[in-house]
Structure 1
Amino acid sequence: MTNPLTSVPIRAARWSAAHPWRAVLGWLALVAVAVGLAMMVPTHEASDADYRLGESGRADQLVEQAGLDDPDSELVLVTGQDAAAMTAAAAELTDGLAGLDDVAGVAEPQWSPDRTALLLAVRLALDHGDDADPLVAVTDRVAAEHPDLRIRQSGDLTLDAAIDERVAEDLGSAELISLPITLVLMLVAFGALVAAGLPVLLAATSVAATIGISAPLSHLVPFDDTVASMIVLIGMAVGVDYSLFYLKREREERAKGRSTIDAVEIAAQTSGHSILVSGGAVIAAMAGLFLVGDSTFNSLAVGSILVVAIAVLGSITVLPALLGGLGHRVDRPRVPLLWRLNARIGRGGISRRLLGPVVAHPVAALALAGTVVVALAVPALGMKTHQANLETLPASIPEVQTMRDVTAAFPSEGTTAEVVVRAGADDADDVRAALEQLADDAVATGAFVASGSDVEVSDDGRTSVLELAMPFAESDERVDEALRDLRTDLVPAAVDVPGAEAVVGGGAAESLDFVERLQERLPLVIGFVLLLTLIIMATTFRSLPVALVSTALNLGSVGVAFGLMTLVFQHGWFESLLGFESSGFVIDWLPLFVLVVLVGLSMDYHVFVVSRVREYVDQGLPTRVAVQRGVADTAGVVTSAAAVMVSVFAIFATLSMLEMKMMGVGLSAAILLDATLVRLVLLPAALVLLGERAWWPSRPTPPRGEPVVETDRAFAEVGQR
């Protein structure tokens, strides 16, 4: 073999099988060193400055440089019908909170327009700690003394702490459930405890090593707080899949009577080659995230690429060592019922019966399956995206519900925009007058309301900030329209000061800038990912048609994922079943992330299936026969691999955080459809229709043997070895 993608896993397998203890100890040393790094080097998380984009990012930078950024604060909401009691409670809260060390001051109580709610804004000291318990204790004490009132607290400290706690609970339960489910699926696939445990063990150690190595890397590329979750998610999926491919082929060859060493070498030549190709495809897909130029996507790309690379390394080194050392003992101890069930079904037993009609009637199969895929993908054309906000957080978190009630009663505490003007100190008065006029003009449009805040001016007089409130929910389309009008018409018309720089920022503007960046870069990312995977497939199988078919199928799978996410989360399908309230949009970063993850992961079993088909073609079988045999032989492995991915992602669909739920539903449903309808119907139907042309420009080995007459059209001509 001159192909380096084949020679690398073969040489790695030979060395590992000849030196199993060195390979295993080397792997354990890598994991131990990585875990040690994580303990010694703290992970550097991305700061607010790392997320700055566009005009809103410039506004945030100017505010920070001028020292005008708002300090952290807590809000205490008092509601009831007795105005006197509410006023007395507010006074007690003010006295209790103002005396705390972490509190810089308490603003005057603010009444809602209907005088059923009273709001206290508690400004925290710049050097405040992370413990909100003293503040909460005061709030709880006053609430207990006024049972007729409802007194609640939420803010930068309490809300963030509550969200972090819920995320930790969700991820903890997901990790706790995913391991036993994966192990059970592996037991069903292999029927033996040792064989089932090896993929899970390799995946878990790959994840541990990645998390450890990523700690020092985070000082080069600051990590988003979701990276660790993504490493676990992708690491468990690909780690189990790669081991599954390798182990299944090794057992298959041993079942044919080959020795353990020969079986390992054949597995390295075939499945090892597929692992390198699919790993390269996943890495290529993940690399597309770098094109967005955003801190979140950069860190997700680094973490994903690293865990895939480590999983590939383990699959072609330590796994052959374990298989070579264990030999036939890898099939011990057997689970009697599952072992007999696997033996009775045989390799591809069920799929052969399903593939018969597809191979016999490829046009009908392609048309019917294609119609289903298109129908599920069409809703994606109406997808709306928006940044995560209060609407996407679980209402079961008390602090979230409190903040929703605050923004409903006090619009100025909800959706806002900041107009930041940088000019000469001598122009401070002119800038102030211009911003005051801007506030009047903005309110007159009906898209803004008075925020009650005066123009803030920095100590040097060069930076001025005006806050404008909007009477809409942050995800309302009118917010984006108001921001665009503010940027293009209102601000340029009002701030006519020579040499002044005027920009619009704030949370809503940040969301708008982020969505516009994604819309601008999405075609570039899609083109990059599809082009790279097309090149990888064309180079690997020496076939342009196979590469084009692979790209089309990937697009179909992505379309299905987007369509399902739109139906479920934008239009509210299965709300009660999944336990969420539709926010009317899909969280902005998820479509792009789902795209690259789905393209990368679906390539795992796509490469595995096409490799087996090509193997049969190279042996001299006609393409029609090679397709039916290759797909049938790999169907069990693909089903097991997809079951692992679907189960892991489906766990995320049960979590309370909407971002995790969206990702879980989109990926699990799309992979389920991809592993069944796409790979068992569309792929074989397309290859059968292409026939020998599927391998152009290369020429497959001519069929050997004489033509034979068969009742099954799929076996019109079978090569005899």
Structure 2
Amino acid sequence: MSVLTSGQPLEQAPTTPRVGPLGRLARVTYRRRGRTVLAWLAALVVAVLLSMSYGGDFKADYSAPGSDSQQAQTLLEERFPAQAGDTVDVVVYAADGVQGHQAEVQSLLGDLGAVRHVDAVSDPFTDPAAISPDGTTLVAHLRLDVENPVDMPVADSEHLLEIADSASSSAFQVALGGQSIVQAEQGEIGSEGLGLAAAAIILLIMFGSLVAAGLPILVAVAGLAVSSTLTTVVISFVDAPDWSTSLATMMGIGIGIDYALLMVTRFREWRAAGLDPEAATVATLDTAGRSVLVAGTTVVISMLGLFAMGLSFMRGAAVVTILGVLVVMLASITLFPALLGYLGKHVDRLRLPIGRSHAVVVAEGGHVEPSRGWLAWSRLVDRHRWVAATVGVVALLALASPFLGVRFGFPDAGNNREETSSRQAYDALADGFGAGMNGPLLLVAEVPAGSTAGVLDQVGAAVAGTKGVAAVTPAVLNEAGDTAVMTVFPATGPQDSETVDLVNTLRDDVLPAATSGSEASVHVGGVTATSIDSTDNIAKRLPLLIGGVVLLSMLLLIASFRSLAIAIKAAVMNLLSVAAAYGVVALVLQGGWAGQLIGIDTATPLPAFVPVLMFAVLFGLSMDYEVFLVSRMREGWLRTRDNEMAILGGLAGTGRVITAAAAIMVAVFAAFVPSPDVVLKVIGVGMAAAIFIDATVVRLLLVPAVMHLLGKANWWMPDWLGRVLPELHVEGHPEDHLAPTRA
């Protein structure tokens, strides 16, 4: 070990260092940096042109394939196209009775019916079921000419809200409900900008230099610009939900900055060790670049696991996110070294008046010795390995415990903010008509033409007499006379377990008995039934996702680190980390003190696809930090064959990088917490919590403690398995880039 000041010349090795493919690619892009930057600009232009020519629209089908609710929806679309369109509920409340305000209501409905995309308006005064039993509340329906709420222009929905607000008075309140209204109320919060701003501050604190801090931002923004533009082309070929862009953006910004952060740190170390900018760039990609490639691959593998769910919207979200990850990885290994060609000599320029300069201690292998603080922490974990391991496991299990009481389902307008029109409409319907008014079930009956009356009467009577049913509307036939629709209003709300029991009872007992001996078939559909079917479908397929992702990730880690113990340990700890994040999500969804901190003030169900999505994303990101940490440990092990020193040096050497990288990820995900969309809010909370837990409790405490306990078993692998799996050399050959002696 020797002490060098940054920039001190270092005698180069007499032999040419072993340089892998990434190192050779770095040399090419460094020397041809102008062409590389122009190539990225050209890629952006091509992406924009493709987007203008072939750009598509977001759409998503949340129904479970082959489910009863999907069959009901298909029949509606084919035989009741008017019934399949989106609707807006107009809810009017008057304490002195709505009948006395008939003229005002008709005028209001006339104004609402004149808005673009409103195709038809129901008359509540000709339908006794449209006025509450106490006469204070009525509901009318605006039938839209769009089938999907996302197709309703926000400006038109906002116009509807303006009309309703203008019509309201102290004695006559109007509220609008429906998914298109919810979307208009949510708006945009600029989460991406908040995340980037937070990341920039963290990078400035870490590096103390505008140039060093700006490099990761440039790489992430460049990758994000290309991938987000290409997303509009991708959704022309695959169905993807509108929130998939937010997920891809979170991932693109987070990992793009993290990967570049790792490589900027390593580049500065190589420069401090005396390498010139080009040699330092090659060495950086030949060492840290390999970690980036393996880490990015684990993220892609995790997202590919979403294909096992068999849901079109999951596949679409996975494709959009994988595109963002791949483009960011490409930017990290091509654009980053090209930018170093321009800025490498000035990486520590434009320093801020924070921190203090000190002599750089260069250890064997070319990395800078970590600070005394990180070394002290690493030794503390080593001395108290049993305590650290026990505390880590207990903490994770304690955080995971609230998930045992989680309630699955889809949030609805009843979980929106109290000041929103959709929440007010929801509450008014529940107060006036009963909780089930907000979650009606649609019975879609397929019957032989000419023999409908008797069968439909039997079905209606049987359903009306079923426990838990508040009301059933008369059957409405289509023009062909072979399909009928009835609306069933449960006595309980759409999120109540009794409603789930009712749906199952109708399907398993009531409807088969009512149609026995006839050729009729009746399907239970509607938003509430679709939510129930989707939840059940995801629960059945979840083991496929977990098993496939864990197995493939373990194989990649075994090949990367030539160790069974490290792969098994990583899988177990990542599962514990994800479980702890689930527990945090379940806690905030309870609507208590934790939920109120982020704007959730009512007990809210958890959409079943959210933990699936979180697992795929978080397992991949957790593997990122595992690769960053263990690759440096393996580097020390190969050099010294001393397990204790390898773990001490690896933890101390990467602790600062992992902490900064995790802080950036937490900031990026936390920027989505203010979103009025409950799903995005929950995803942001869960992922921010998971990254924080993983980078603190797991990577900086539990992993080194367990590896100290395992000793040399960390690096064991059966000979037969070693011959089968390729050796990736994820740590590279750092010693080859330094001279054996220093001047």
Deviation at 1:44, TM superposition (A): 2.8
Q: Counterpart of 1:559 in 2: which secondary structure?
A: helix
Deviation at 1:456, TM superposition (A): 1.3
Residue 278 (structure 2) pairs with residue 261 (structure 1)? yes
Other-structure match for 1:367:
390
State the alpha-carbon separation in 1 of the partners of residues 131 and 76 from structure 2.
29
Deviation at 1:632, TM superposition (A): 0.4
Other-structure match for 1:104:
120
Other-structure match for 2:295:
278
Other-structure match for 1:539:
559
Write out per-residue CA displacement over residues 676-709 of structure 1, whole angstroms, 9 at most, x where no aligned residue: 111111111111111111111279xxxxxxxxxx
State the alpha-carbon separation in 2 of the partners of residues 265 and 125 from structure 1.
59
State the alpha-carbon separation in 1 of the partners of residues 713 and 87 from structure 2.
67
Other-structure match for 2:492:
472
Cα distance change on mapping 1:137 and 1:394 into 2, 3 Å = closer
Equivalent runs, 1:503-522 vs 2, <5 Å: 503-522=523-542
State the alpha-carbon separation in 2 of the partners of residues 262 and 421 from structure 1.
73
Deviation at 1:441, TM superposition (A): 2.5
Residues 61, 313 of structure 2: 8 Å contact kept: no
Residue 238 (structure 2) pairs with residue 221 (structure 1)? yes
Residue 407 (structure 2) pairs with residue 384 (structure 1)? yes
Residue 580 (structure 2) pairs with residue 560 (structure 1)? yes
Cα distance change on mapping 1:510 and 1:336 into 2, 3 Å = same
State the alpha-carbon separation in 1 of the partners of residues 661 and 134 from structure 2.
59
Residue 600 (structure 2) pairs with residue 575 (structure 1)? no
Cα distance change on mapping 1:312 and 1:99 into 2, 3 Å = closer
Deviation at 1:636, TM superposition (A): 0.9
Other-structure match for 2:57:
44
Give the residue type in structure 1 aligned to 2:23.
I
Q: 1:421 aligns with which of 419, 424, 445?
A: 445
Write out per-residue CA displacement over residues 517-555 of structure 1, whole angstroms, 9 at most, x where no aligned residue: 110011110111111111110111111111001101101
Q: Counterpart of 2:90 in 1: which secondary structure?
A: strand
Residue 78 (structure 2) pairs with residue 57 (structure 1)? no
Other-structure match for 1:523:
543
Residues 190, 342 of structure 1: 8 Å contact kept: no
Deviation at 1:85, TM superposition (A): 3.5
State the alpha-carbon separation in 2 of the partners of residues 137 and 336 from structure 1.
51
Q: Counterpart of 1:653 in 2: which secondary structure?
A: coil
Write out per-residue CA displacement over residues 197-223 of structure 1, whole angstroms, 9 at most, x where no aligned residue: 111111111111111112221122112
State the alpha-carbon separation in 2 of the partners of residues 138 and 617 from structure 1.
71
Give the residue type in structure 2 aligned to 1:252.
E
Other-structure match for 2:310:
293
Q: Counterpart of 2:580 in 1: which secondary structure?
A: helix
The two structures have a TM-score, normalised by structure 1, of 0.89
State the alpha-carbon separation in 2 of the partners of residues 465 and 677 from structure 1.
55
State the alpha-carbon separation in 2 of the partners of residues 327 and 202 from structure 1.
14
State the alpha-carbon separation in 1 of the partners of residues 709 and 393 from structure 2.
14
The more displaced of 517-526 and 260-269 is 260-269
Residues 105, 124 of structure 1: 8 Å contact kept: no
Cα distance change on mapping 1:277 and 1:436 into 2, 3 Å = same
Q: Counterpart of 2:20 in 1: which secondary structure?
A: helix
Deviation at 1:137, TM superposition (A): 6.3
Cα distance change on mapping 1:117 and 1:135 into 2, 3 Å = same
Equivalent runs, 1:617-628 vs 2, <5 Å: 617-628=637-648
State the alpha-carbon separation in 2 of the partners of residues 566 and 341 from structure 1.
46
The more displaced of 218-227 and 128-137 is 128-137
The more displaced of 240-249 and 402-411 is 402-411
Cα distance change on mapping 1:419 and 1:602 into 2, 3 Å = same
Give the residue type in structure 1 aligned to 2:378.
L
The more displaced of 61-70 and 516-525 is 61-70
State the alpha-carbon separation in 2 of the partners of residues 192 and 265 from structure 1.
22
Other-structure match for 1:85:
100
Give the residue type in structure 1 aligned to 2:377.
L
The more displaced of 101-110 and 573-582 is 101-110
Give the residue type in structure 1 aligned to 2:693.
L
Deviation at 1:653, TM superposition (A): 2.0
Residues 542, 698 of structure 1: 8 Å contact kept: no
The more displaced of 636-645 and 261-270 is 261-270
The two structures have a TM-score, normalised by structure 2, of 0.87
Q: Counterpart of 1:114 in 2: which secondary structure?
A: coil
Other-structure match for 2:454:
430
CA RMSD of aligned residues (A): 2.7
State the alpha-carbon separation in 2 of the partners of residues 255 and 548 from structure 1.
36
The more displaced of 28-37 and 250-259 is 28-37
Deviation at 1:422, TM superposition (A): 1.5
Deviation at 1:53, TM superposition (A): 5.3
Residues 46, 295 of structure 1: 8 Å contact kept: no
Give the residue type in structure 1 aligned to 2:460.
E
Deviation at 1:607, TM superposition (A): 0.1
Other-structure match for 1:7:
20
Deviation at 1:511, TM superposition (A): 0.4
Write out per-residue CA displacement over residues 238-265 of structure 1, whole angstroms, 9 at most, x where no aligned residue: 1001101111101111111122222112
Q: 1:154 aligns with which of 153, 169, 176?
A: 176
State the alpha-carbon separation in 2 of the partners of residues 126 and 647 from structure 1.
37
State the alpha-carbon separation in 1 of the partners of residues 224 and 517 from structure 2.
56
The more displaced of 433-442 and 355-364 is 433-442
The more displaced of 191-200 and 114-123 is 114-123
Deviation at 1:314, TM superposition (A): 0.8
State the alpha-carbon separation in 2 of the partners of residues 162 and 500 from structure 1.
37
Residue 420 (structure 2) pairs with residue 397 (structure 1)? yes
Residues 55, 236 of structure 2: 8 Å contact kept: no
State the alpha-carbon separation in 1 of the partners of residues 88 and 649 from structure 2.
65
Deviation at 1:97, TM superposition (A): 5.4
Q: Counterpart of 1:468 in 2: which secondary structure?
A: strand
State the alpha-carbon separation in 2 of the partners of residues 342 and 336 from structure 1.
18
Residues 431, 497 of structure 1: 8 Å contact kept: no
Give the residue type in structure 1 aligned to 2:214.
G
Q: Which stretches in structure 2 are left out of the alignment for 5+ residues?
A: 1-17, 362-367, 720-739
Residue 89 (structure 2) pairs with residue 75 (structure 1)? yes
Residue 200 (structure 2) pairs with residue 186 (structure 1)? no
Other-structure match for 1:441:
465
State the alpha-carbon separation in 2 of the partners of residues 100 and 263 from structure 1.
63
State the alpha-carbon separation in 2 of the partners of residues 258 and 125 from structure 1.
66
State the alpha-carbon separation in 2 of the partners of residues 190 and 179 from structure 1.
16
Cα distance change on mapping 1:125 and 1:617 into 2, 3 Å = closer
State the alpha-carbon separation in 2 of the partners of residues 580 and 403 from structure 1.
16
Aligned length: 685
State the alpha-carbon separation in 1 of the partners of residues 571 and 285 from structure 2.
26
Deviation at 1:138, TM superposition (A): 5.6
Other-structure match for 2:29:
16
Other-structure match for 1:502:
522
Q: Counterpart of 1:437 in 2: which secondary structure?
A: helix
Residue 629 (structure 2) pairs with residue 609 (structure 1)? yes
Deviation at 1:500, TM superposition (A): 2.7
Residues 35, 208 of structure 1: 8 Å contact kept: no
Give the residue type in structure 1 aligned to 2:465.
D
Equivalent runs, 1:291-330 vs 2, <5 Å: 291-330=308-347
Write out per-residue CA displacement over residues 9-57 of structure 1, whole angstroms, 9 at most, x where no aligned residue: 1221121122111222212221232233233332232255987651100
The more displaced of 563-572 and 503-512 is 563-572
State the alpha-carbon separation in 1 of the partners of residues 69 and 370 from structure 2.
58
